[in-house]
Chains A and B, each alone.
Chain A
Amino acid sequence: MSTEALLLSVAATSRWRRPVAFARSIAPRTWARIALFTTFAIVAKWFWLSHAGAMVDYRDAQYNSLFENAARICVTHFHELPLWNPYYCGGVYALGTPSARFSSPLFLITLIFGVLRASPLIAVMMCVIGLEGTYRYARSHGAGALGAMLAAPVFALCGFFPRSGAFEWINFLGFQLLPWAALGLRRAFAGEIKGAVMAGGAVGWMTCFGGTYAAPYTLLVGVLELAAALVRFRRDRKRLASALMLGAVAALLGVGLALVRLWPIAETLASSPRVLGAIDSNPPLAIAKMLFGAKIPFRGDFLVGVLVLPLALLAALERRNVWILGIACFFLWLASGFSAHPSGYALLRTIPPYTMLRSPERFLVPFALAYAVLVALGFGRLQRIARKRKWKPWVVTAALALACIDDGVLADNEWAWQRGRSLMAAPESSEPREFTNARGDRWLAAYYPGIARGTLSCFDDYQVPQSAALRGDLPHEELLADASAGKLERTSWSPNSIALHAELTKPARAIINQNWHPGWRVSEGTLADDEGRLAVDLPSGTHDVVLRFRPRSGIYGLITSLFAIAACVVLWRVRRLGRFGQLGVAVAPLLVALGALAFVHEPPRPIQRLTLPNGEPIVQTDPPAGAQTIDAEFEEGITLEAARAITQRGSDGPTLDFELDWRLSGPAPTGLGIFVHFEPDKGDSVNVDHVALATVAPFEAFPPNMTLRDALPGIAIESGKTYKIYVGVWRARRGGERLKVVKPGSATIDADRVLVATIHAP
C-alpha cells in the first residue's frame, strides 16, 4: 500500500469514528450529558412552551387544572395548606383526590408561574429526570455510556408522555420517575442504602404527584427486581438477608413519604370506590402499532421507535440479558389485557389496588423502559462485535445514526401531539368576591375558581361523596334549616375555615352548602351530616362558630411524610447505622401515623343508607305489589324474582318506571353487574347496564334471602316504539362473561338474557 493510500485510509477511518468518539466523550460526563438531555427535552417540548399560557381544550384538562389551581389559590390567597377543595363537586378532600398532583415538589413551579405556564416547564423537568434515570438504569444493567445515552429518549420521550401532555394528564408524567425507582431498588438489593432512599423517594414523589398508575406499576417493577435479587443471591444467605432488609427499608420509606396522599386516598376510595367495567383488549397488532407506528411519519400512543428494534433484538439474543427481556415480555403480556390467554391483566385486576385500574396498554410504559435498556445493551454488543471481528467503523456509526434518527422520530411525535392540541383562552380571575357554589359545568370546570365559584357539576373516576341536596342558586351559602329560629351570617371564609355568627331564639341546625366530611371540626355546637351536607347543631343564643377542616389522615399523614424526609436524609448521610438501625430509622416515621390512628379520634363515616330515591328501603321481604313474578335463576345463586315496567306519558315525552327484584341465596361474589337491553321494534337498542342496584350499591353489599329492589325510575323512551326488555347478569368488573341462566322460571331466555317485559311507548 502506498503512503498516500495509507493516509487516505486513516483519514477515512477517523472521519467515520469522529461522531462516535464525540458522542462517547459526552456520554459519561454528568453535566455535559444533563445539559444535552435538557436541550433535547426543551427542543422536544418547544411548541408546548410556545403556547404556555393557553388552556388545552379537553375535558380532563378542566378538572386537572382546577385541582392544581384550587391548591394554588389556597396557598397564595388564603395562606393555608390545600386540604379541602371547595371548588369541585360541592367540596372534596383535596389530599384524597387521587389524581391531584399539588403535593409534589413541582408544585413550587405552579406557585411561581401559575398552573398553565408551569405545565410545560414541569414536562421539561420530568423529561430530563426520565432521560437521566433511564441512562443510569441502563448503565446498572451493564450498558455502555454511549448506548445508555442514545437509548434514554426511547423511554423518556416515548409516545405516552406527549400524549399525556396533550390531554393535560400532567400527573402521568410521574412515570418519568420509574427508572429511578427501579435503579434504586437494584442498588438497594445490591446492598446500598442510598439505593433504598432513591427508590423510596421516587415512589413517594410519584404518589404525591397523583401517580394513580405510576405507583402501582412501580410496585410490579419492584417485585420483578426483588425476584431477580432472590435468584442472584440464592446461595448467599447474608447478601440475601441484606437485600431483603434494604428492600423493606425502601418500601417503608416509600410508604412514609407518600403517606400524606396514600392515607387520604385510601380513605376516600374505601368509602367511595372506583367501579370499572371496561374489558380492555389489545391484540398484538394493536400493540405493535402503538409502539412502532403504522406508517411514516411514525406516530403512536406509546411510540418507542422501530429503528432501534434491531439493537434491542441483538441484546435480546444474548443470554445474560434474559432477565430484562423477561421484564419486557411480562409487561407486553399485561398490556395485551383480556386478549391474552391466559390473561395476566385479568388476574391482576382481582388484586387491590389493581382492581381500580383500567387501560392495560399503559403497561407499555414499563415495557418502554425495558426496551430502552435492551437498545442500550444492543448498542454495546454491536460495538463489541465490531471490535472483535474488526468490522468497518461505519457499522457502529450507522447504528449511532439510526439511534439518533429514532430519537428524532420521538421528538417529531412530540411535536405532532403538541401541534394537534386544540387550545382555548385561559380562565381569568375576577375581582375578589364571596365564595359560593354554582351549579357549574364540569366541562368548563377550570373557569370557576377564578370567579370564586365552585362547580357542583363534576366528574372523577370514582364515586365522589357528594350530597344531592347541594344547590347552585342559594342567596347565602349558610342557612338555618328552620328559618324562623333566628339569624345566621358568614363572618369569614377560606377553603379550610368558615366562621359564622348565629343569633338563635331556639335550637337550630346551621347548614353549609358544601359536602360533609369527617375531617371537619367545629368550635361550638355539634357537627352534623345533613343529607350529605356539612351542618352544625346549635343551641339557642348567640354564637360565633368556626368550622375548620383538620382531617386526621391529612395532618398526621403530612407529619409522617415530613419525618420520612428526615429519615431519608439520615439514611443518606449517616454511614454507621447497621441494617437494623436503618430499618428502625425507616420505620420510625410510620409510628406517627400509627399513634394518630390509635389516639386521635375522627367521627366514623355514616353507613351507606340502602334506600331508593323515594326513601323506601331497597332490602324488603317481598317484591312490591304489581310486580310480575319471574323466578329466573342465574349462576352464583342469584335469582330474578320479579320485574315491573310502568309506562307514563309526561310533558316531555313517554317515560318508563322500571324495577327488577333480585334475591341472593348466599353472599354474592364481587365484580358482578346487571345488563338491561331495551330492544325496540325499529332503531338501535339501548343499554341500561349498571353495577349498583338502584344506583346505590353492588350485589355484594346486600344480605342474602331478601328481596333487593333495583328501581330505575323515569327512563326516557321514544314514543310509538315497542320495546323488548332483556335482563341478565355479567362479570362486569372481571372478564365480562355473562352468568348462565340455570333455571328459566316463567320467562323466555335468549343467550343468557331473561325477557322480562314487552312494552309499548305511548
Chain B
Amino acid sequence: MDNARTIAAPSGAIAASRECIVRAVREARAKILLGVVTVVAIGRAVTAPPPDPGNHITPDMAHSAWHDISGRERSMRREAAVKFPGDLWSQDDDMHERENEAVRSYASKNNVRLTEVVRAMDDGMHAHWQTGGTVQATVPPCRPRLSY
C-alpha cells in the first residue's frame, strides 16, 4: 500500500526510484566486495608456497634407506608386541608408527623427498633388495582397539 501511494504522487515516484537506485548500488557494491574477497581467497590458496619437499633420492640412497629401516623391523616388532600383547593389529600398527618415524627421520636427515623414501621402501620390498633384518609382507586385518 505504501508503495502504491508513493507511486501515485509524482514527487513520491521520484523518491521511490531514487531509493531503488540507491538499493541497487548498495547491492552491487556488496556483490563486488564479495567477488573481490572470493578472488583474494582463491588466489591466496592457489599461490601459497608449499613446504620445500627436499632433493630427489639417488638409487644408492634408496637402497640405503631400505637397508637401514627394514633392518630395524624385527626389534620394532618386538617392542610393539610388548606394548600391545595379544592384539595383532595394534602390534602391527605400532610397528608401522615406528617405521613411519624412521622414514621421516631418514628423509629429513638426508634432505630428500619423503614420497621418494616411501617409494624406496616399497621398491625394496617388491624387488627383494638386501636387508639387514627380516621383513613381513602381510598385515593383519584392521581391528581398531576399543578406545584410542
From A303-311, A399-407, A418-426, A596-604, give the one contacting chain B. Answer: A418-426
From A32-40, A339-347, A498-506, give the one contacting chain B. Answer: A32-40
Query: Is A147 in the interface zone, CB < 8 Å from B?
Result: no
Partner of B30, one of A29, A439, A690: A29
Would you give the 0/1 interface string for A720-756, flagging 1 where the beta carbon is closer than 8 Å to chain B? 0000000000001100000000000000000000000
Partner of A688, one of B27, B85, B92, B100: B85
User: A656 to chain B: which residues have CB within 8 Å?
Assistant: 85
B101 to chain A, nearest CB (A): 8
Closest residue to A467 on the B side, CB-wise? B141
User: A715 to chain B: which residues have CB within 8 Å?
Assistant: 81, 85-86
Query: Is A166 in the interface zone, CB < 8 Å from B?
Result: no
Query: Is B16 in the interface zone, CB < 8 Å from A?
Result: no
Query: Is B10 in the interface zone, CB < 8 Å from A?
Result: no
With A53-B48, A424-B51 known to touch, is A716 a contact of B85 (CB < 8 Å)? yes
Partner of A463, one of B27, B34, B136, B144: B144
CA distance A656 to B103 in the complex (A): 32
Query: Is B78 in the interface zone, CB < 8 Å from A?
Result: yes
Known: A39-B33, A425-B50, A532-B141. 18 other contacts (CB 8 A): A31-B27, A31-B31, A35-B33, A42-B40, A53-B50, A120-B45, A275-B146, A276-B147, A428-B113, A442-B93, A442-B96, A443-B96, A463-B142, A466-B141, A471-B137, A472-B125, A473-B126, A716-B82
Interface hits, B20-73 → A, CB 8 Å: 26-27, 29-31, 33-34, 37-38, 40-42, 44-46, 48-54
User: B30 to chain A: which residues have CB within 8 Å?
Assistant: 29, 31-32, 34-35
Question: Do A425 and B114 have beta carbons less than 8 Å apart?
Answer: yes
User: A50 to chain B: which residues have CB within 8 Å?
Assistant: 44, 48
Binding site for A on B (CB under 8 A): 26-27, 29-31, 33-34, 37-38, 40-42, 44-46, 48-54, 74, 77-78, 81-82, 85-88, 92-93, 96-97, 99-100, 103-104, 113-115, 118-119, 121-122, 125-126, 128, 136-147
Partner of B45, one of A121, A438, A458: A121
CA distance A689 to B146 in the complex (A): 8
Closest residue to B75 on the A side, CB-wise? A652
Interface hits, A409-459 → B, CB 8 Å: 423-428, 430, 436, 438-444, 447-448, 450-451, 453, 456-459
Question: Do B119 and A430 have beta carbons less than 8 Å apart?
Answer: yes
CA distance A578 to B129 in the complex (A): 72
B21 to chain A, nearest CB (A): 15
Can you sample 7 A-B contacts with CB below 8 Å? A277-B147, A278-B147, A358-B147, A441-B99, A689-B146, A716-B85, A717-B82
Query: Is A692 in the interface zone, CB < 8 Å from B?
Result: yes
CA distance A688 to B83 in the complex (A): 10
Question: Do B52 and A425 have beta carbons less than 8 Å apart?
Answer: yes
Closest residue to A613 on the B side, CB-wise? B88
In this complex, how many residues of chain A approach chain B with their Cβ under 8 Å: the count is 92
CA distance A216 to B126 in the complex (A): 44
CA distance A42 to B87 in the complex (A): 45
With A460-B142, A472-B137 known to touch, is A34 a contact of B34 (CB < 8 Å)? yes
User: A714 to chain B: which residues have CB within 8 Å?
Assistant: 81, 86
User: A469 to chain B: which residues have CB within 8 Å?
Assistant: 138
Question: Do B38 and A38 have beta carbons less than 8 Å apart?
Answer: yes
CA distance A443 to B125 in the complex (A): 18
CA distance A656 to B87 in the complex (A): 13
Question: Do A652 and B125 have beta carbons less than 8 Å apart?
Answer: no
Closest residue to B33 on the A side, CB-wise? A35
Question: Do A427 and B26 have beta carbons less than 8 Å apart?
Answer: no
CA distance A467 to B142 in the complex (A): 9
Question: Do B138 and A456 have beta carbons less than 8 Å apart?
Answer: yes
Would you give the 0/1 interface string for A24-59, flagging 1 where the beta carbon is closer than 8 Å to chain B? 000001011011001100100110011111100000
Query: Is A678 in the interface zone, CB < 8 Å from B?
Result: yes
Would you give the 0/1 interface string for A484-520, flagging 1 where the beta carbon is closer than 8 Å to chain B? 0000000000000000000000000000000000000
CA distance A733 to B81 in the complex (A): 25
CA distance A424 to B101 in the complex (A): 13
CA distance A436 to B140 in the complex (A): 18
Query: Is A461 in the interface zone, CB < 8 Å from B?
Result: yes
With A38-B37, A49-B41, A475-B126 known to touch, is A444 a contact of B147 (CB < 8 Å)? no
User: B103 to chain A: which residues have CB within 8 Å?
Assistant: 441, 444
A701 to chain B, nearest CB (A): 15
User: B77 to chain A: which residues have CB within 8 Å?
Assistant: 652
Interface centre among B27, B53, B141 (most CB of A within 10 A): B141
Query: Is A464 in the interface zone, CB < 8 Å from B?
Result: yes
User: A470 to chain B: which residues have CB within 8 Å?
Assistant: 138-139
Closest residue to A711 on the B side, CB-wise? B86
Question: Do B146 and A117 have beta carbons less than 8 Å apart?
Answer: no
Closest residue to B81 on the A side, CB-wise? A716
Interface centre among B97, B115, B136, B137 (most CB of A within 10 A): B115
B85 to chain A, nearest CB (A): 4
Question: Do B37 and A42 have beta carbons less than 8 Å apart?
Answer: yes
Query: Is A653 in the interface zone, CB < 8 Å from B?
Result: yes
Question: Do A53 and B49 have beta carbons less than 8 Å apart?
Answer: yes
CA distance A641 to B49 in the complex (A): 64
Question: Do A695 and B119 have beta carbons less than 8 Å apart?
Answer: no
Closest residue to B85 on the A side, CB-wise? A715
Interface centre among A34, A53, A717 (most CB of B within 10 A): A53
CA distance A53 to B47 in the complex (A): 9
User: B144 to chain A: which residues have CB within 8 Å?
Assistant: 275, 459-463
Question: Do A451 and B86 have beta carbons less than 8 Å apart?
Answer: no
Question: Do A692 and B143 have beta carbons less than 8 Å apart?
Answer: yes
Partner of B146, one of A113, A691, A716: A691
Interface centre among B30, B38, B143 (most CB of A within 10 A): B143
Query: Is A177 in the interface zone, CB < 8 Å from B?
Result: no
Query: Is A635 in the interface zone, CB < 8 Å from B?
Result: no
Query: Is A686 in the interface zone, CB < 8 Å from B?
Result: yes
Question: Do B31 and A457 have beta carbons less than 8 Å apart?
Answer: no
Query: Is A481 in the interface zone, CB < 8 Å from B?
Result: no
User: A117 to chain B: which residues have CB within 8 Å?
Assistant: 45-46, 48
A169 to chain B, nearest CB (A): 15
Interface centre among B33, B138, B139 (most CB of A within 10 A): B139
CA distance A444 to B144 in the complex (A): 18
Question: Do A732 and B146 have beta carbons less than 8 Å apart?
Answer: yes
Question: Do A451 and B85 have beta carbons less than 8 Å apart?
Answer: no
CA distance A12 to B45 in the complex (A): 45
Question: Do A425 and B140 have beta carbons less than 8 Å apart?
Answer: no
Closest residue to A469 on the B side, CB-wise? B138
Partner of A424, one of B45, B87, B114, B142: B114
Interface hits, A527-546 → B, CB 8 Å: 532
User: A463 to chain B: which residues have CB within 8 Å?
Assistant: 141-144
Query: Is A106 in the interface zone, CB < 8 Å from B?
Result: no
Partner of B86, one of A46, A118, A690: A690
With A38-B38, A39-B33, A430-B119 known to touch, is A439 a contact of B46 (CB < 8 Å)? no
A713 to chain B, nearest CB (A): 8
CA distance A459 to B119 in the complex (A): 20
